[in-house]
């Protein structure tokens, strides 16, 4: 399992996450109801949170408690942060493609014209 998959792996019960973040489980349920976080569900319909979910909840908690942002503002901020991540991934993919194509051009230019 690569690190990205491990980061997404649903591992933690709601009680564990609540204790980790010093939040009430009902607060976590409310965040889920509002669509701010989306824990996976086990076959028995138990909420399971990934490390990504925990990190997102930590951001939510920091925004609301430390910075005084209301939940509507948190939603906007999280959506913007998600979009920034998507754009950074797109830039990385484009840069990798550009570097591959540049390498191909350099190889072709280095080989010179074919002799007849």
In CATH, what number is assigned to the domain containing residue 51?
Answer: 1.10.1660.10
Q: Is residue 104 part of a domain?
A: yes
**pTM of the predicted protein model:** 0.78
- Domain assignment of residue 116, yes or no: no
How many domains does the chain divide into?
1
In a domain, 102, yes or no: yes
Does residue 25 contact residue 14 with C-beta atoms inside 8 Å?
Answer: yes
Structural domain of 104: 3-109
Helix-strand-coil split of the chain, %, nearest 5: 70, 5, 25
Answer yes or no: is 44 within a domain.
yes
Cα distance from N-terminal residue to C-terminal residue, the chain: 52
Per-residue pLDDT of the chain (116 residues; tens, 9 = 90+): 778 889 999 999 999 999 999 999 999 999 999 999 999 999 999 999 999 999 999 999 999 999 999 999 999 999 999 999 999 999 999 999 999 999 999 999 987 665 55
């Amino acid at each position: 399992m690569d690190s990205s998959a491990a980061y997404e792996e649903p591992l933690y019960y709601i009680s564990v996450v609540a204790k980790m973040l010093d939040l009430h489980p009902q607060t976590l349920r409310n965040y889920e109801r509002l669509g701010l976080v989306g824990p996976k569900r086990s076959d028995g319909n138990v909420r399971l949170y990934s490390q990504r979910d925990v990190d997102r909840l930590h951001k939510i908690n920091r925004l609301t408690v430390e910075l005084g942002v209301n939940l509507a503002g948190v939603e906007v901020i999280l959506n913007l942060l998600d979009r920034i991540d998507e754009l950074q991934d797109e830039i990385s993919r484009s840069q990798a493609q550009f570097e591959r194509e540049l390498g191909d051009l350099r190889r072709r230019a280095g080989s010179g014209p074919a002799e007849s």
